[in-house]
Amino acid sequence: MKRYAVNPVVSLREESGGALLYNPDLDDVVLINETGRMIWETIVQPQTATEIAAYIEANTKDAENVLADVESFIESLLPDFVILYDEADAK
């Protein structure tokens, strides 16, 4: 089962309407919106895309295409900002 978590070297700075992620190893910055910030806060501990989507659905008014949006967001941040944990590989 794939779980996603923040890359521990990445820092987050809250901004109006979202946040800024900074990876010092790459000297790279990514701007994320408010929903992206919610996802980021959720993956402080490893979570599956389904668990993340359930959290977003429970905490926002927009529940359309949440799982697909979560997967797309995470894919855009792999591997530099988000780390993939595949529990099948760990066994």
Give the model's pLDDT for residue 88.
54
**Looking at residues 69-77, what average pLDDT do you find?**
94
* pTM reported for the whole predicted model: 0.85
- What the block records as the tokens of 11 is 């820092």
**Looking at residues 50-75, what average pLDDT do you find?**
89
Which secondary structure element, helix H or strand E, spans residue 15, and what is its range? strand 11-15
**Looking at residues 80-90, what average pLDDT do you find?**
78
Which secondary structure element, helix H or strand E, spans residue 30, and what is its range? strand 28-33
Which secondary structure element, helix H or strand E, spans residue 90, and what is its range? helix 87-90
Overall residue count recorded for the chain in this entry: 91
**Residue 29 neighbours by CB under 8 Å, 6+ apart:** 20, 21, 22, 23
Give the model's pLDDT for residue 64.
75
Q: Where are the domains of the chain?
A: 2-90
**Looking at residues 26-47, what average pLDDT do you find?**
95
**Looking at residues 58-79, what average pLDDT do you find?**
88
CATH fold group of domain 2-90: Outer Surface Protein A; domain 3 (3.90.930)
Taking 50 as the threshold, does the pLDDT of residue 57 lie above it? yes
